[in-house]
Amino acid sequence: MVDDNELDMLRNIPTPVPSGEAKARALAAAMVAYDLEKNPTATQGSAKTERLTERARKLWRDVMQKKLIAAPALAGLVALPIAGYATFYLMEGSPFNFGADQEVAQAPVVRSKEAPASTLKKADAERREATTELLAAAPPKPEAKAASEEAVMNEAEPVGGSAPAPMADAVASSRMPTLMAQPQIAPSDMPMPPQVENHDRVQEFKTNPVRSALEDPVSTFSIDVDTASYSFVRRSLKEGLLPQADTVRVEEMINYFPYDWKGPNAATTPFNTTVSVTPTPWNQHTKLMHVAIKGYDVKLAEQRKANLVFLIDVSGSMDEPDKLPLLRSAFRLLVGKLNPDDTVSIVTYAGNAGTVLEPTKASERAKILQAIDTLTPGGSTAGEAGIREAYRLAQSSFVKDGVNRVMLATDGDFNVGQSDDDDLKRLIEEKRQSGVFLSVFGFGRGNLNDQMMQTIAQNGNGTAAYIDTLAEAEKVLVQDASSTLFPIAKDVKIQVEFNPSAVAEYRLIGYETRALNREDFNNDRVDAGEIGSGHSVTAIYEITPKDSPALAMDPLRYGQAATGSGGVVNADEYAFVKIRYKAPGGDVSKLITTPVTKANEVSSFDAAGADQRFSVAVAAFGQKLRDEDATDKLGFDRIAEIASAARGADPYGYRAEFLSLVRLASSLQGSKP
């Protein structure tokens, strides 16, 4: 029986300080309850009863709603045991780690000024019933049983102005090692964090092999100005993961950065070629042949009128912060970059395709932005229907001698209509004949179809970029808008013939997915890459001079093929570089050639230009991430040293960010992707 004097005494005493022993006892009791919840022993046919967790939560709810109004010390006796059990129940769905510095949060202490005796009696009875059932439902191990019952049932009378209140002591604040010491729950039994299944699709490819200049002297490939791989790699590293090898396309990492290569002086020559030969920083017995192309930079006044169709994926898979919300912000940036006479249309697709905005002048900016802001996700992904509708709309507002481009923004998850990559490739090949180009912008992770994006971008006379942040959106759609939107040449192919008298072996670094057959170079029907205004493209070969100790292949038993009496023609050349291209609206290619001689050679790697050295550092980093043999003995510290020394002017901080990625990769070295 509790009288008013006792209540006054309880009301005025301070909240007791918890002791470590009491903490351990109370946590043991809570773990017993946890075991009961996870391993019920009720027999078949038992009468339906309220779950223990429901009783505990109900009692806690009553406390929080002040149905049980307790004095400070009694509040601890009533509220804290329930809070302890409720905490473990909630932890069942919340992954956590045990650590010496990790603490259980203190349970809230309910305080009130008055407590009627009847309410306290009811609280006492309910608390006893709940805690007794927790222990009785399934007996704990013998060594824990006594401590558990003592912790739950002990009620010490206040003596000398203090109250031990074991349960209040036990649950108020406890470190995780105490929990680890108890026998009821092993770390392996604790709930694990949910595993997010990764459905990203990337194209698998093998690294370019070393080739004999005598047996296979010609290398042919399509240029690549895409940058998606670099952004994807950056996101992986910043999330604490080394990227999967097939997500690393070395040429896209190299070409992510702007370089100050010498460009052409007039639009009549769409690009200029710069070739150099330097020592290799990772192999003293080989050299690097560096082929750089710089496109003509179309001035603002010379830019052609643009007819753009935003083809936007609004399917259910886009309902994530780094997908549709980021996409909306990205396209808002692009609209602000357009000229007033440019035209914008918007097509969306989910379960089916629809036109959100008919062709509208960019001068009506508010109308375009409103259409972008109203986009919401939901439904399946009818990508094929969206592509067809976007091309139809682009053709309906086609600008002769202008820029006509579909800009597809998606995570690439096409699952309605033609969803096979080969079918989509044929569709894009058919549509590109209309003179409408296509660019692809990927968003998000876990569902990204990078393989499909690469396929349709390469066959749509367009580019592919991966946008993981708003800063990347600004780079692609604002800072690089001219090169992204305004092509100066299409179907650009490179063919290099190596002189076996000077070069024994060679290998092309990157461009594995852009390889062409030798005969494709002169075939104007074979599609290749596009270069935009001001674009720079870099290709690097590692070459092994004749008689170098670094030869990867044994020499032929019967020696070189016989030459005429005049000897080898152009014997002083390392190689002969040929480039074919078409004008954006043309069908017949033109040829540019450049011999590579000793005059292109630089005596030491440090004597090469800053852009050459930085691009080599990026090439080394890409190979290192792919775990290629060539850079096996080159450390990340050396890569960072090369890049830092060649950082040069870095107005947007791209090169500084690269250095931070090298450091991240170094810290993650040895961890699995």
Q: Is the pLDDT of residue 501 over 70?
A: yes
Q: What is the pLDDT of residues 315-326, one digit of tens each?
A: 888 999 999 999
Query: pLDDT band at 77, cuts 50/70/90?
Result: very low
Q: Is the pLDDT of residue 279 over 90?
A: yes
Query: pLDDT band at 382, cuts 50/70/90?
Result: low
Q: Is the pLDDT of residue 276 over 60?
A: yes
CB atoms within 10 A of CB 175: 16
Q: Is the pLDDT of residue 641 over 90?
A: yes
Tokens encoding 668: 């993650």
Query: pLDDT band at 143, cuts 50/70/90?
Result: very low
Q: What is the pLDDT of residues 179-192, one digit of tens each?
A: 344 444 444 444 54
> 206 near 50, Cβ under 8 Å?
no
Q: Is the pLDDT of residue 128 over 80?
A: no
Residue with more model confidence, 46 or 21: 21
User: Residue 591's Cα: distance from chain center in Å?
Assistant: 39
For residue 37, the model assigns a pLDDT of 56
Paired residues of 575 in beta bridges: 498, 596
For residue 284, the model assigns a pLDDT of 94
Q: What is the pLDDT of residues 159-217, one digit of tens each?
A: 344 444 434 443 343 333 433 444 444 444 445 444 455 677 888 999 999 999 999 99
CA distance 328 to 441: 12
For residue 425, the model assigns a pLDDT of 80
Alpha helix segments (H runs only) across 420-561:
421-432, 450-459, 470-474, 481-485
Q: What is the pLDDT of residues 446-500, one digit of tens each?
A: 778 888 888 888 888 888 999 999 999 999 999 998 888 889 999 999 999 999 9
**H/E element holding 390?**
helix 383-396
For residue 242, the model assigns a pLDDT of 95
For residue 31, the model assigns a pLDDT of 67
Percent of the chain residues topping a pLDDT of 70: 67
- As a whole number, mean pLDDT of residues 298-317 equals 86
Helix (H, G, I), strand (E, B) or coil at 219: strand
For residue 455, the model assigns a pLDDT of 84
Residue 6's alpha-carbon distances to 2, 14, 209, 289, 570, in angstroms, are 6, 14, 88, 92, 110
Domain 304-481, CATH homologous superfamily name and number: von Willebrand factor, type A domain (3.40.50.410)
- Same fold? 211-299+488-551+569-668, 304-481: no
CB neighbour list of residue 115: distance below 8 Å, 6 or more residues apart:
7, 11, 69, 70, 71, 74
For residue 499, the model assigns a pLDDT of 95
Among the residue ranges 25-39, 259-273, 497-511, 564-578, the one predicted with the least confidence is 25-39
Which DSSP symbol is given to 220?
E
Residue 655, φ and ψ in degrees, nearest 5: -75, -35
Percent of the chain residues topping a pLDDT of 90: 49
For residue 602, the model assigns a pLDDT of 95
Average pLDDT, the chain: 78
Query: pLDDT band at 606, cuts 50/70/90?
Result: very high
Q: Is the pLDDT of residue 296 over 60?
A: yes
Q: What is the pLDDT of residues 409-454, one digit of tens each?
A: 998 766 545 556 677 788 888 888 888 999 999 999 877 888 888 8
Residue 284, φ and ψ in degrees, nearest 5: -70, -10
Q: Is the pLDDT of residue 57 over 70?
A: no
pTM: 0.70
The string of DSSP codes covering 314-358 is -SGGG-STTTHHHHHHHHHHHHTTS-TT-EEEEEEESSSEEEEEE
Domain ranges of the chain: 4-189, 211-299+488-551+569-668, 304-481
For residue 440, the model assigns a pLDDT of 92
Q: Is the pLDDT of residue 627 over 90?
A: yes
Query: pLDDT band at 144, cuts 50/70/90?
Result: very low
Residue with more model confidence, 253 or 81: 253
For residue 8, the model assigns a pLDDT of 65
Residue with more model confidence, 117 or 670: 670
Q: Is the pLDDT of residue 563 over 80?
A: no
Among the residue ranges 79-88, 492-501, 565-574, 627-636, the one predicted with the least confidence is 79-88
Among the residue ranges 20-34, 141-155, 497-511, the one predicted with the least confidence is 141-155
Torsion of CA 208, 476, 273, 498, to 10 degrees: 0
| Fold of the CATH domain 211-299+488-551+569-668 | Immunoglobulin-like (2.60.40)
- As a whole number, mean pLDDT of residues 549-576 equals 72
Q: Is the pLDDT of residue 90 over 50?
A: no
Residue with more model confidence, 176 or 545: 545
Query: pLDDT band at 41, cuts 50/70/90?
Result: very low
Query: pLDDT band at 543, cuts 50/70/90?
Result: very high
Q: Is the pLDDT of residue 226 over 70?
A: yes
Q: What is the pLDDT of residues 326-369, one digit of tens each?
A: 999 999 999 999 999 999 999 998 867 789 999 999 999 999 99
CA distance 232 to 468: 8
Residue 641's alpha-carbon distances to 6, 613, 646, in angstroms, are 76, 11, 9
Residue with more model confidence, 540 or 584: 540
For residue 2, the model assigns a pLDDT of 52
